[in-house]
Structure 1
Amino acid sequence: AMVLLRSLTERGLVNCRGIVTNLCPASDRARLARGTLDVLGLDKIPVAVGTDGGSDKHTDNFSDTASAYMPQTLDEASSQSGSELLLHIYQTAPVTGIRLLLISSIKDAAKFMQEHEEIFVEKTKDVTIMGGVKPFETEFDDDTLLEPD
């Protein structure tokens, strides 16, 4: 996702205002995101630590291979909470100027929307949610229908 972000940013097609990492361990995922963005030349994009995403099943399966470019600790700007970063982004964005892309848990966005509904409605242009699918059990033999997970 971040390599694609780099390409789209370079072409002037997107202006990423920030990244909120979530799922356990969210702080390590923030370090991974910060290091990856830095390597890609996207060091101006702020990164913040989000929630556990509602799951305690996720683990750090990346530090062994990414430790060479992951910072040991987060700088002060990256240690802000995901909700703080989202609020800052929304407060400084033009009306209907935010396209929110959710590629993991939607917990942080849902929490932000509940706590800041007025500004969310005012400033959000659209929300894109990436998700997987799981087989939809039907009475049919081929089970061709899919149910979002």
Structure 2
Amino acid sequence: MLFLCINVAKTDWSTALQICQENGLCLADLNKKEHFSILTWHLQGGDRTEYWFGLNHFLSNSLKYVGNNLPVRFIPESGNTDTDGNRQCGYIKPVTDSFTIAMADCSEKKRFICAESIACNSIHTNSTYSSGYFVWPSCNWGE
């Protein structure tokens, strides 16, 4: 079962990563349409805000996920992964009646989403990765 934890505290991307790691998780990898769809389904009807997830450009020379170190394989419709200037970190962005992904300055304060991951930023976690899904609507870490 994939455990996703939606945090309501707002923080910068690096602090969000640290908080996820302290809890045996990592910033979420949303590299499959199925993962993105399940998560955004849980966000529908709720607070239409922005959430950090594990996509970044500053930890490596290319756009990769911090949990599995893989390049981007899925970009939702109207997604924007341009990393020019200070926009080096990925976030979930509400658009009209759905969500997409975009890049922002990593120092901006946003809510964040942690998930199970075997490793995080090349550090082994104590979590596992499985094929089911469980979304915890609010973890309140970092408050």
Q: Greater helix share, 1 or 2? A: 1
Which of the five TM-score ranges fits, normalised by the shorter chain? 0.3 to 0.5
When Rg is computed on C-alpha atoms for both structures, the one with the higher figure is 1
Q: Greater strand share, 1 or 2? A: 2
Higher relative contact order (CA 8 A, sep 6+): 2
TM-score (ref. length: structure 2): 0.32
